[in-house]
Amino acid sequence: MNLGIAFQLVDDALDYGGKSAKLGKNVGDDFRDGKITLPVVLSFRRGSDSERLFWRRTLEDGDATDNDLETAILLMNKHRALEDTVKRARHYGAIAKDALAFFPESPMKNVLGEAVDFAISRTS
């Protein structure tokens, strides 16, 4: 479960801060689909009243323009939302790896540990 959460959090951050070729999807798909992800929540909570109006207009009301993705990314960087989302993903990754400590060494345990590392390394 914690590996899944870590993977999803990284995916949410990459949707705003990744490269399309590396992702296998377009940057900003979550934004265009109106998805409320952790980077959005952090930016909203940390933002000014006018910034909150931006998020409400673009995601809640679905009234996003072509330039709004760029504004969303700027706000996320301003409020360190992407960085903090990745930190949260690393935290869940560490919990996932800690859960493996109870199991004896085996190829499966190693693969699961590598899966955690892969999920987090996608941010690099």
pLDDT in tens, 78-96: 999 999 999 999 999 999 9
Residue in 20, 54, 65, 55 with CA at minimum distance from that of residue 35: 55
CB 4 within 8 A of CB 93: no
**Structure confidence at residue 122 as a pLDDT band (50, 70, 90):** confident
pLDDT tens per residue, range 16-67: 986 654 556 678 889 999 999 999 999 999 999 999 999 999 999 999 987 9
Percent of the chain with pLDDT over 70: 93
Whether 74 and 105 have beta carbons less than 8 Å apart is answered as no
- Both structure tokens of 14: 């990459």
The answer for residues whose C-beta is within 8 angstroms of residue 42's C-beta and 6 or more apart is 76, 79, 80, 81, 84, 85
pLDDT at 21: 40
* 69 vs 22, more confident: 69
Tell me, what's the pLDDT at 41? 98
User: What is the CB neighbour count within 10 angstroms for residue 58?
Assistant: 20
Q: Return the domain boundaries, the chain.
A: 2-121
pLDDT band at 124 (very low <50, low <70, confident <90, very high): low
CATH assignment of 2-121, among 1.10.600.10, 1.10.8.60, 1.10.150.240, 3.30.390.10: 1.10.600.10
